[in-house]
């Protein structure tokens, strides 16, 4: 049996927002300059702003976690990374078996 990819359009929802008149004028002009409908322009702008906000949050969250891990490592409170002993053993074995030139 062959399964075909669904060609149904994604579900659409409506968002209502009240914006200042000057913002609306800017949207109309920007959409026109890009040759897009106002809806297409707004969806693209919202998509980009959403992605950026999420990515920025991830960077902040990760950098704080990285700072904590670094501080713990510098203070000697960090456990040895999992599998490090196997890496060291493999490096010793490699040095024993392989001749450097």
pLDDT tens figures, 68-78: 888 888 888 77
Quickly state the pLDDT bin for 67 (edges 50, 70, 90): confident
Contact between 41 and 34 under an 8 Å Cβ cutoff? The reply is yes
What pTM does this model have?
A: 0.55
Signed CA dihedral, 68, 74, 79, 81: sign only: positive
| 1 pLDDT above the threshold of 60 | no
Q: d(Cα 22, Cα 20) in Å, to the nearest integer?
A: 6
| Cα–Cα nearest to 40, from 56, 27, 54, 25 | 27
pLDDT tens column, 8-53: 778 999 999 999 999 999 999 999 999 999 999 999 999 999 999 9
Quickly state the pLDDT bin for 101 (edges 50, 70, 90): low
DSSP state of 49: H
| Full DSSP string of 55-76 | HHHHHHHHHHHHHHHHHHHHTT
């Amino acid at each position: 049996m062959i399964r075909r990819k669904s060609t149904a359009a994604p579900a659409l929802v409506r968002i209502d927002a009240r914006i200042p008149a000057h913002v609306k004028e800017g949207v109309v002009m920007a959409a026109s300059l890009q040759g897009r409908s106002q809806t297409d322009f707004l969806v693209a702008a919202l998509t980009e702003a959403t992605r950026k906000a999420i990515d920025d949050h991830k960077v902040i969250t990760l950098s704080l976690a990285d700072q904590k891990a670094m501080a713990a490592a510098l203070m000697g409170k960090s456990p040895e990374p999992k599998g490090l002993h196997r890496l060291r053993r493999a490096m010793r074995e490699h040095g024993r078996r392989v001749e450097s030139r």
